[in-house]
Amino acid sequence: MMKQKIAVFASGAGSNAQKIIDHFKASEIAEVSLVACNKAGAGVLAIAGREQIEQVLIEKEQYKKDGYAAFLQEKGIDFVVLAGFLLKIPQPLIDAYPRKIVNIHPALLPNYGGKGMYGAFVHQAVIANQEKQSGITIHYVDEHYDHGDIIFQATCNIEPGDTPEQLAEKIHLLEHAHFPAVIEEVIRKQ
C-alpha cells in the first residue's frame, strides 16, 4: 500500500495536530502532508511551519463553495482529519472523501454535540448537568455537526468540584492518548 497522505484541518493551538504529526512521522502507512487552518496566526500554522508541512489558510468563500475538495485531490490527499476545526464541512468535501473524514469531539456523542458545542462550551454544559462521566468521541464526518458514525469513545470520570478547565485537561489527555492510534487503525482498514 502506498503511504496515505493526511490533511489535518484545525482552527486553534494545534496540540492534537502535533500529536498526530508525531505519531505518523515513523509510520509506514501514512503521513501528515498538509495542514489547513481557517484562522491566520493560529498555533497550528506555527506547528506546520516548524514541522515543514505544507499549510493552507482557508478562504471562507472558496471553502463554502467546495470545501477545498479539488485542492486536496490535486495535492494527492487520501484522508482528512479534523482536529479542533470549527467550520462545518461542506457537502462537496464530504462527497469527495466519503468515510475518509474523521473528527474528534470532546464529549460522549450523541450528547453535547451540534452547532456551538465545542471547547469550553461542551465542558461547561457537561458539568452544569452534573454528569458523572465525559470523554471523547472519534467519528466519521457527515453533513451534520457531530453526527456521523461513531468509531471510538473513551471516558473519564468527573469528580465533584471539577471545573470546566479541569475537565478540559482530562479530555486533552484522552485525545492525545487515543486520536492518532484510532486514525491509523481507520486508515489501515480502508
Give per-residue pLDDT as tens, 15-57: 999 999 999 999 999 999 999 999 999 999 999 999 999 999 9
Query: What CATH number is associated with residue 31?
Result: 3.40.50.170
Confidence of residue 120 (pLDDT cuts 50, 70, 90): very high
What is the residue range of 79's domain? Answer: 4-189
Number of domains in the chain: 1
pLDDT at 1 exceeding the cut of 90? no
| Alpha-carbon dihedral 62, 112, 35, 90, rounded to 10 degrees | -20
33 marked as part of a ligand binding site:
no
Active site residue 105: yes
103 marked as part of a ligand binding site:
yes
In angstroms, the Cα distances linking 79 to 60, 107, 172 are 21, 23, 23
**94 grid coordinates:** 464530504
Contact residues for 133 (Cβ-Cβ < 8 A; gap 6+): 108, 155, 156, 157, 158
* Residue type at 115 in one-letter notation: K
Confidence of residue 185 (pLDDT cuts 50, 70, 90): very high
The active-site residue out of 23, 105, 144, 178 is: 105
Give the separation between CA 85 and CA 82, rounded to whole angstroms.
5
- Mean pLDDT within 117-139: 96
Residue 2: predicted pLDDT:
87
pTM for the whole thing? 0.96
38 marked as part of a ligand binding site:
no
Give per-residue pLDDT as tens, 69-109: 999 999 999 999 999 998 999 999 999 999 999 999 999 99
Confidence of residue 175 (pLDDT cuts 50, 70, 90): very high
In angstroms, the Cα distances linking 155 to 76, 107, 180 are 35, 9, 17
14 marked as part of a ligand binding site:
yes
The DSSP code for 11 is S
